[in-house]
Amino acid sequence: MASQFPQNIDNLMAKLSSDDGFRAHLMADPVNALSAIGISIDPSQIPAIRNLPSKQAVAMDRVAVKQKLDNAAGAIPFFLSGRA
């Protein structure tokens, strides 16, 4: 896809599903942890109380998100055809 957004989300979910060091960094310093993987976020959007789902839960969700993005990307030629 042309957008970096899906790639950033996939990268984030990959790290959340497998990288204990990243998970710890994200909990301790979310702005810098996200910045390190190319995601900018306003510090005011970070909740004071934070929790992360299990690595296994993120891994399952990652598969579901990738499938939805792949299906959406496959619909682009249909939309461009003007038959929508």
Task: Indicate yes or no: pTM above 0.85.
Answer: no
**Contacting residues for 80 by C-beta, under 8 A, at least 6 apart:** none
Cβ pair 7, 38 in contact under 8 A: no
For 10-14, 29-33, 49-53, 67-71, which range has the lowest pLDDT when averaged over its residues? 67-71
What mean pLDDT do residues 59-83 have? 77
Q: Is the pLDDT of residue 9 over 60?
A: yes
